Amino acid sequence: MLDASDAMQRMQVDASIGLTDLEAAARLERYGANELVEKPLKSPLAILWEQLTAPLVLLLIAAAAVSALLGKADSTIAILAIVAINAVLGVVQEYRAEQAMAALKKMAAPLVRVRRGGQTRDIQARELVPGDIVLLEAGSIVPADARLIEAANLRAQEASLTGESQPVEKDTRTIQAADAPLGDRHNMVYMGTSITYGRGTALIVETGMQTQLGRIADLIQSVESEKTPLQRRMDELGSVMIKAAFVVIVIALVVGLIAGDPLLPDPALPNDEAVLLNAVAIAVAVVPEGLPAVMTIALALGAQRMLRRRALIRKLNAVETLGSVTTICSDKTGTLTENKMTVTVIDVAGQTSSIEDIDGALTSLVELNGRGLASPRSAQALVLVGSALCNDAIEQPDPNSPGNIMVVGDPTEGALVTAVGRFGLRKPRLDLLLPRAAEVPFDSDRKRMTTVHRFADVGNLSRDERMLLDLLNTSFENAAYIAFTKGAVDSLLTVCDRAWLDGQIVPLTPELRARITKANDDLAQNGLRVLGLAFKRFETLPTASVETVEYNMVFVGMEGIIDPPRQEVKDAVAVCKTAGIRPVMITGDHPLTALAIAKSIGIADNDAKVLTGHDLAAMSADQLENVVEDVSVYARVSPEHKLNIVSALQRRGHVAAMT
């Protein structure tokens, strides 16, 4: 993959100036607007044509025509009425669903900040062209696929594209592997993803349908529609009925002629019996006129029931298809999981506790009655409070839900703030008690950040707040300033020479270091993102630099963070298996995380095999078809891989549903 300077040279642009307006207009003419092109919606006439050309409906129309020729007006009207009701119901349901889907996709055209002609300006995202220089910051929606040329602690949330549950750290380093999965392309940002932290400058390399999101849209729209099991069975029934009608006509003709009846009626005798008319009448009687209408009404009622459960059915026949599903291929992030990073485990001094086990308010964590300091609860309190203070997330009232609190910022940091909030301490109050006096920001090389806090003289302290301050004063021997460092455990251990153990600060021996490393590895093996916490006390405010703050620190403990499964998912998986439906997880997240979640909800067992996108890329269609029924977890996959998996299942005779 090209480095940043080569990419800019290929795009013929200077990052400090950007494209000129003239060049941007020329490229817009050449490449087209930066928007996804969708197939036009079906017109009501097209939907009506589909309804009227089904074999069984054609048979009914033919029956109505024969009835009209025979002069049977009542039969003709009844059959045509059934055909009309069937067509109208189908057209109305599908057209309304098409319009609803279109309404869901309509969004206001977002603005993007670009550098053009040496000036920074805001333009509509659809006006972006390859070669544009865009400026990104926390909260920005990435408008097109771009190569990063500057990145300062940049993180992007790519769950919508790759399924990665936590923000991905981005930088400008050149990637050596030409076939690196999307989730591992750390120097690229993609249309539709969002920036959660830091800032950056990027060179637009692909726009519109040439982006990764555009490729997904093209894949979806290029997939040929297959007939549902019900449609296939109805077509088979229609073919059988047509053949049966001809057989009946032939038999009736033969029997009538043998009996000596005339082939055609005598015009002079209006009521005279004729073999041909009798044969046709018997054939028409074979046709089940009411079946299409009954089927359409039943499916329409089913669609309405699904709508009440917040499921929009686009085509009526899909209602029955859901009942025929044998395999459900589900994404992980946001579907099986909450799409919300959550602290689930705290490890201190080799003792690992789930967040649910650490129940109660801070009073139960820190019992300063002579023995509370030595309790693991005190270390857990330090980890929780320190992680919330060494944190850039903001806690504020939720404008859409009065009385509730929302956290704004990086999802992982938000999880740390939410964790301490469970025990009665809110971040705004912590920031008031221990205001930040200095900081050493996070960077991807150190994989940690440090904040320095001072004790503030705040009145009206609650019992929990007083106990917290007492704990900190006791722990830090009344130091004027406290530095908390949060980050990757292996990175923290390089700047720590002591550890907090049973309420005391002890040397970080090789044995203790090995125990911490093992605990970190065990949590990581279970798919958790692990962040450690260390502290250091200062008598005077230090200069905010790595050299003056991050040395001789005291390691306290670590927190395990994961996007947890939804509460209802485990039961839903069990119901599916009982019904003979095999659930399969397909995600762009890391294999360890995917497997851990799959095991916890019952999709995978201890012997489950995980296939990655790299494995799938090396497989032929036949090889994938041979193993697709034995694999329940796919990780680090791209959208194309998802389509290949579903196609392989269909070739094996499965009815597959994809979330």
Token digits of residue 600: 């916890």
CA-nearest of 87, 95, 211 to 142 is: 211
Q: How many CA atoms lie within 13 A of 177 on its CB side?
A: 9
Q: Distance between CA atoms of 27 and 368, rounded to whole angstroms?
A: 69
- Exactly one of 132, 331, 410, 615 is catalytic; name it: 331
Q: What CA–CA distances, in Å, run from 72 to 69, 77, 78?
A: 8, 9, 10
For residue 369, what pLDDT is reported? 44
Q: In this structure, are residues 319 and 302 in contact, taking their beta carbons and an 8 Å threshold?
A: yes
Query: From the CA atom positions of the chain, what is the Rg in Å?
Result: 34
CA nearest neighbour of 361 among 336, 342, 381, 383: 381
* Cα distance between residue 326 and residue 532, in whole Å: 44
Q: Provide the mean pLDDT of the chain.
A: 82
Of 1-10, 56-65, 188-197, 506-515, which range is least confident? 56-65
| DSSP3 helix / strand / coil % (the chain, rounded to 5) | 45, 20, 35
Q: How far is CA 93 from the centre of its chain?
A: 28
Q: What is the mean pLDDT of residues 361-370?
A: 48
Measure the CA–CA gap between 101 and 157, rounded to whole angstroms: 25
Can you tell me the distance from the alpha carbon of 339 to that of 587, in angstroms, rounded to the nearest whole number?
Answer: 13
> Looking at per-residue confidence, does 161 or 594 come out higher?
594
pLDDT over 70 percentage in the chain: 85
Greatest Cα pair distance in the chain: 124
Token digits of residue 413 = 């940091």
Structure-token pair, residue 187: 């120097």
More confident residue, 460 or 520: 520
**Among 104, 99, 100, 133, residue whose Cα is nearest residue 23:** 133
What average pLDDT does the segment 286-291 reach? 69
The reported pLDDT for the residue numbered 222 is 67
Give the Cα separation of 505 and 536 in Å (integer). Answer: 11
Q: Please return the burial class of 447, using the count of CB atoms within 10 Å of its CB with bins 0-12, 13-18 and 19+.
A: middle
Which pLDDT does position 634 carry in this prediction?
93
331 noted as active-site residue:
yes
Poorest-pLDDT segment among 6-15, 305-314, 332-341, 565-574: 305-314
Contact yes or no for 117/18 (Cβ under 8 A): yes
Cα–Cα distance, 33 to 27 (Å, whole number): 10
Q: How far apart are CA 366 and CA 474, in angstroms?
A: 12
* The pLDDT of residue 461: 77
Per-residue pLDDT, averaged over 312-316, amounts to: 68
Higher pLDDT, 262 or 134: 134
> Quick one: pLDDT at residue 314?
66
Q: How far apart (Å, rounded) are the C-alpha atoms in residues 17 and 133?
A: 8
At 621-650, the pLDDT tens digits run 999 999 999 999 998 888 788 889 998 998
Residue 348 CA to residue 557 CA, distance in Å, equals 4
Which one of 3.40.50.300, 3.50.50.60, 3.30.590.10, 3.40.50.1000 gives the CATH number of domain 325-337+566-658? 3.40.50.1000
If residue 489 lies in a helix (H) or strand (E), which one and from where to where? Answer: helix 489-493
How many CB atoms within 10 Å of residue 601?
20
* 104: confidence class by pLDDT, cuts 50, 70, 90: very low
**What pLDDT shows up at residue 551?**
93
In this predicted structure, what is the pLDDT of residue 271? 54
Share above pLDDT 90 across residues of the chain, in percent, rounded to a whole number:
29
Look at residue 289 in the predicted model and tell me its pLDDT: 65
Give the model confidence (pLDDT) of 555-608 as tens digits. 999 999 998 999 899 999 999 999 999 999 998 888 888 898 999 999 998 888
How many Å apart are CA 416 and CA 393, to the nearest integer? 9
pLDDT tens digit sequence for 377-426: 778 888 999 999 999 888 888 887 887 888 888 888 999 999 988 887 88
pLDDT attached to residue 107:
42
Mapping DSSP onto H, E and C, the string for 102-119 reads HHHHCCCCCEEEEEECCE
Spatial distance between the Cα atoms of 168 and 152, rounded to a whole number of angstroms: 13
Q: Residue 564's Cα: distance from chain center in Å? A: 13
Evaluate if residue 24 carries a pLDDT over 70.
yes
DSSP string, 437-454: EEEEEEETTTTEEEEEEE
Q: Which residues of 179-208 are buried (b: 16+ CB within 10 A; e: fewer)?
A: ebbbbbbbbbbbbbbbbbbbebbbbbbbbb
Q: What distance in Å separates the CA atoms of residue 603 and residue 192, rounded to the nearest whole number?
A: 29
Q: What pLDDT is attached to residue 96?
A: 63
Q: How sure is the predictor about 509, in pLDDT bands with cuts at 50, 70 and 90?
A: very high
> For 25-81, what is each residue's pLDDT tens digit?
999 999 999 987 766 666 777 777 777 777 767 777 777 777 777 676 777 787 788
Residues 97, 313: contact at Cβ < 8 Å?
Answer: yes
Contact 55, 236 (CB under 8 A): no
Specify whether the CB–CB gap between 216 and 331 falls below 8 A: no
561 φ, ψ (degrees, to nearest 5)? -125, 140
Q: Exposure string (b/e) for 284-303, b if CB count within 10 Å is 16 or more?
A: beebebebbbebbeebbebb
What's the burial of 72, exposed, middle or buried (CB within 10 Å: 0-12/13-18/19+)?
A: middle
CA angle 451, 455, 457 (to 5 degrees): 145
Q: Which helix (DSSP H) or strand (DSSP E) does residue 487 occupy?
A: strand 481-487
Q: What are phi and psi of 434, to 5 degrees?
A: -130, 75
What digits encode the pLDDT tens for the residues 424-476?
A: 788 988 898 899 999 998 887 888 999 999 988 877 777 777 777 777 766 66
CATH ID of 4-34+128-222, from 3.40.630.10, 3.30.70.20, 2.40.10.120, 2.70.150.10? 2.70.150.10
Q: 342-562: which CATH number, 3.30.360.10, 1.20.1250.20, 1.10.510.10, 3.40.1110.10?
A: 3.40.1110.10
Distance CA 568, CA 572 (A): 6
**How is the chain split into domains, by residue range?**
4-34+128-222, 44-104+226-308, 325-337+566-658, 342-562
* DSSP string of 177-224, one letter each residue: -TT--GGG-TTEE-TT-EEEEEEEEEEEEE-GGGSHHHHHHHHHHHSP
> 148 in helix, strand or coil?
strand
| Helix, strand, or coil (residue 96) | helix
> Please, what is the Cα angle at 48 between 45 and 54, to 5 degrees?
140
pLDDT for the residue numbered 97? 55
Strand partners, 612: 635
Tokens (6 digits) for 277: 């008319």
Q: Render pLDDT for 227-264 as a digit per residue (tens, 0 to 9).
A: 777 777 777 877 787 788 778 878 888 887 887 777 76
Q: Residue written as tokens 């686009």?
A: 314
Task: Give the model's confidence band at 364: pLDDT under 50 very low, under 70 low, under 90 confident, else very high.
Answer: low
pLDDT of residue 421: 86
| pLDDT given at position 501 | 87
